[in-house]
Structure formats: C-alpha cells, structure tokens
Structure 1
Amino acid sequence: MRLYGLKTCDTCRKALKTLPDAEFVDVRSDGVPDAVLSQALADFGDALLNTRSATWRGLDDNQRAKAPLELLKQHPTLMKRPLIEKGGELFLGWTAETLTQLGIS
C-alpha cells in the first residue's frame, strides 16, 4: 500500500497513523508517478483537484484554465489528499467511505 500526501498535512498524518505499514510518498518532494496521476484523474475527475487550497488560490485565471493533469504535474500540492494506492486500486481522501473500502473499521 502506498499513501501519497504531504508530511505536513494533518489528514495524511492521521492516515499514516492508522496505516503504519503504508509506504509514504511526499508529493511535494517526490511527486506522483504519471501513471498513478493519470489513473487517479480518470477515477476521480475534478474531485482530484483541491480547489480550496492555498496553492489554488495563488493561481491566476490562465493557470487555472490549464488541463487538470498539467496543473497537477506542475503543482502536486493541488492534489486532494491523501491518495491511497492498494493493489492497483486508488482511494481518495480520508473519509468513512475510504476506511470501509480499505477494510478498516
């Protein structure tokens, strides 16, 4: 299992505490592999972009108009977190639904 997030993100820390065996990938320093990013965008669409983040608010209209995949490659911190990869399947966010899908009660 791999968890993509930010080491400074409280939600990602909660997820890591619950999933201590998960491999953590800091998207700011390590990025997200193109294949994972493409699959996540196909699975979650616009929900993958965190439009409430400080990074998003710092973008001008021309930057916001770019394709989501291009934006996420340039600004990986725009990705909603955490993104969890388990057995080729992706899960987004740290919600009750995600916990259920991961088999955690």
Structure 2
Amino acid sequence: MKKVYFLQTCDTCRRILKEVNTAGFERQEIKANNITVAQLEEMYALSNSYEALFNKRAKLYSAMDLKNQNLSETDYKQYLLDEYTFLKRPVFMVDDEIFIGNSKKVIEALKTKISSL
C-alpha cells in the first residue's frame, strides 16, 4: 500500500509532494475528503499512537486551549476525526510503515524507503 494524506492549501505539503516521488501513491486531500474511522485506525495500527498523528501546532489547538487539558488517546482520536487540521501532515503510508509530519528526519527516511522499493 502506498498512500499519502495531505492538505492542498499547506505550502509545506505541496513542497514535500514535489520533492518526494509519489508515483503510484494514492493521494487523499484531507479537507475535501475527510479521513474515515477506518483510515484513522489504519494509521493508528502503524503508529500505535493517536497523539503521534496529532498536530499540536494547529491554530485550533491553541484556540481551544487543548494544551492545558489532559487528553487521552480517545480524545486525540475524536479530535482527529472532528477536525482535519489536527492531523499532522503529510502522512505517508508505504507498505507497513508510516511517516508522519514534515521534519527533515521523517522526509529523509521516507525518501530512503521509496528509493528502496
């Protein structure tokens, strides 16, 4: 399986999608096509954490004052399903591995994985 979840209006996502060879990837724009419970559970199966998938830099995170709340994995899951901006993006799923976010380390590991296919 090769899939990427991204936000079209995100400059960082657009840059990474140009930088990474996404030939053969199923692409899902998360604002137009919200992630489903099944898709989120599939991501969870690879990451073992809803918190790892959660974007704590989202404006809504500050606006809702979530940093001062004690959130459980169930809370993170629900927020991810309720609001697309809470997904740390982009999320690449390649075979049985998941690459979450846009850090240089994650993107380099992703490129290495793709080049080895």
Percent of matched pairs sharing the same residue? 27
Q: How far does residue 60 in structure 1 lie from its aligned partner after superposition?
A: 4.1
Give the structure 1 partner of residue 89 of structure 2. Answer: 81
Shift of 1:75: 0.7
Q: Report the TM-score when normalising by structure 1.
A: 0.77
Give yes or no for contact 2:36–2:81 (8 Å, CA) kept in 1: no
Aligned to 1:52: 57
State the secondary structure of the residue aligned to 1:67. helix
CA contact (8 A) 1:81 1:93 kept: yes
Q: Say if 2:76 is the partner of 1:68.
A: yes
Q: Cα offset for 1:88? A: 4.9
Q: CA RMSD in A?
A: 2.3
Mapped to 2, the partners of 1:39 and 1:23 lie a distance apart of 15
**Secondary structure of 1:84's partner?**
strand
**1:20, CA displacement in angstroms?**
4.2
Amino acid at match of 1:19: N
- Structure 2: runs of 5+ lacking an equivalent: none
Task: Give 1:27's aligned residue.
Answer: 30
Amino acid at match of 2:58: S
Using the alignment, how far apart are the partners of 1:55 and 1:19 within structure 2? 31
The SS at the match of 2:115 is coil
Counterpart of 2:5 in structure 1 is: 4
Most deviating of 69-78 and 89-98: 89-98
**1:92–1:98: 8 Å Cα contact kept in structure 2?**
no
Structure 1 gap ranges (5+): none
3-state SS of paired residue (2:77): helix
The 1-side partners of 2:38 and 2:98 are apart by: 12
TM, length-normalised to structure 2: 0.70
